[in-house]
């Protein structure tokens, strides 16, 4: 077995162990404190654990299939997230052709460029070409009512759900000396650390949270939860240096950066939800709301992580 495969299996086994322990803890807590389902915190915790089993299995299968499996998985995630986002926008009939282009032209091309490893055009296709294409298609329909708002919302949806999300599988295109055929572990590092930070912020907040950090955006987030979650995830990131091309210090520093970006990304997406008057982006994942509710932290951290690694470690 190659070193890359060995590290991947060790990571899979470690993840399964954590999920099994979390499930056992959730079961015990429910049996003792919430047999009738009256304890909202415990019920929410168990719903999150169940959802993580599903997501871990899907990501694990994609990793086993390889590069195509990862691209297909994140392509589907981008499509589903874009659909959730668009349902909360002010689009009109005049925008239907622009929306069709977003779903069935822009999104597939973005992921095709990843498959072809065309970094030069991949990195500017949506921010330049798609951003100019969307208003051109819409303006040809002649409806100017709330035109700027409608176009900006579609552009923002593409930026978040397709451009930023596509930077997760883009990690597979990096060429790092001495790290050949192990790039899938970079994806694992990014997703595990960012999502662990979310979970640990929730746990620390429930245990010690007193001071609201952004009560108008996310009432459940506290200063204590933020500090505890980010610090814990940073230490875990440093401990996972062995699956990356980084030293322990570098892994910890990158973990700190992506957890901070993930936290602020969550606040930005919460602000959009509050503006739209909804609690969740959707109901695709039990206990987690919509897909964007799970992707919000990842999509804000993925481009930063990708470009830092590409600039400092990649040869291309």
User: Any idea where the domains of the chain sit in the sequence?
Assistant: 1-50, 66-173, 180-316
pLDDT band at 30 (very low <50, low <70, confident <90, very high): confident
Give the other-Cβ count within 10 Å of 57's Cβ: 12
Q: Which carries the bigger pLDDT value, residue 6 or residue 229?
A: 229
Collapsed DSSP state (helix, strand, coil) of residue 20:
helix
Give the other-Cβ count within 10 Å of 139's Cβ: 14
> For residue 84, with 0-12 CB atoms within 10 Å meaning exposed, 13-18 middle and 19 or more buried, which class applies?
buried
Give the pLDDT mean for 73-96: 90
Backbone angles phi, psi at 176, to 5 degrees: -115, 125
| Lowest mean per-residue pLDDT among 81-90, 246-255, 282-291, 293-302 | 282-291
pLDDT for residue 1:
56
pLDDT for residue 114:
95
Give the pLDDT mean for 19-35: 82
Q: What is the pTM of this model?
A: 0.89
pLDDT for residue 250:
97
Looking at the chain, the whole-number percentage of residues with pLDDT higher than 70 is 95
pLDDT for residue 158:
95
CA dihedral 239, 301, 273, 282 (to 10 degrees): -70
Q: Which carries the bigger pLDDT value, residue 46 or residue 146?
A: 146
Residue 2 scores a pLDDT above 70: no
Residue 308 scores a pLDDT above 90: yes
Q: Which residues on neighbouring strands pair with residue 222, listed in sequence order?
A: 212
Residue-wise pLDDT tens digits, 151-201: 999 999 999 999 999 999 999 999 999 898 889 999 999 999 998 898 889
Residue 56 scores a pLDDT above 90: no
pLDDT band at 228 (very low <50, low <70, confident <90, very high): very high
Q: What is the mean pLDDT of the chain?
A: 88
- Separation CA 99–CA 311 (nearest Å): 34
Backbone angles phi, psi at 285, to 5 degrees: -115, 115
* DSSP secondary structure letter of residue 38: -
Residue-wise pLDDT tens digits, 128-138: 999 999 999 99
Cα separations in angstroms, 172 against 68, 116, 161, 217, 312: 10, 11, 19, 34, 16
Give the other-Cβ count within 10 Å of 128's Cβ: 11
Nearest to 112 by CA among 175, 173, 27: 173
Residue-wise pLDDT tens digits, 264-291: 998 998 888 888 887 777 666 555 567 7
pLDDT band at 238 (very low <50, low <70, confident <90, very high): very high
- Separation CA 176–CA 244 (nearest Å): 10
pLDDT for residue 78:
95
Residue-wise pLDDT tens digits, 58-67: 888 888 888 8
| Lowest mean per-residue pLDDT among 6-15, 130-139, 253-262 | 6-15
């Amino acid at each position: 077995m190659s070193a890359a495969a060995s590290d991947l299996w060790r990571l899979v086994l470690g993840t399964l162990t954590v999920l099994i322990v979390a499930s056992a803890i959730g079961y015990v807590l429910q049996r003792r404190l919430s047999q009738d389902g009256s304890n909202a915190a415990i019920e929410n915790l168990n719903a999150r654990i169940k959802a993580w089993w599903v997501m871990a299995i899907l990501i694990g299968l994609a990793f086993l299939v390889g590069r195509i499996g990862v691209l297909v998985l994140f392509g589907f995630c981008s499509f589903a997230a874009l659909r959730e986002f668009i349902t909360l926008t002010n689009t009109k009939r005049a925008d239907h052709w622009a929306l069709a282009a977003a779903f069935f032209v822009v999104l597939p091309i973005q992921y095709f460029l990843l498959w072809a490893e065309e970094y030069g055009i991949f990195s500017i296709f949506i921010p330049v070409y798609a951003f100019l294409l969307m208003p051109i298609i819409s303006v040809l329909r002649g409806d100017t009512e709330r035109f700027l708002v409608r176009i900006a919302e579609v552009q923002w949806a593409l930026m978040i759900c397709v451009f930023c999300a596509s930077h997760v599988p883009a990690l597979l295109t990096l060429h790092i000396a001495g790290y050949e055929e192990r790039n899938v572990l970079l994806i694992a590092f990014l997703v595990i650390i960012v999502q662990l930070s979310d979970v640990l912020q929730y746990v620390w907040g429930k245990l010690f949270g007193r001071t609201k950090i952004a009560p108008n955006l996310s009432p459940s987030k506290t200063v204590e939860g933020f500090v505890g979650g980010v610090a814990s995830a940073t230490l875990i990131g440093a401990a996972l240096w062995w699956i990356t091309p980084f030293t322990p210090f570098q892994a910890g520093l990158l973990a700190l950066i992506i957890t901070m970006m993930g936290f602020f990304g969550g606040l930005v997406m919460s602000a959009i939800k509050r503006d739209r008057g909804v609690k969740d982006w959707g109901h695709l994942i039990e206990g987690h709301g919509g897909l964007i509710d799970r992707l919000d932290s990842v999509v804000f951290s993925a481009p930063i992580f990708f470009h830092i690694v590409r600039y400092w470690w990649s040869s291309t």
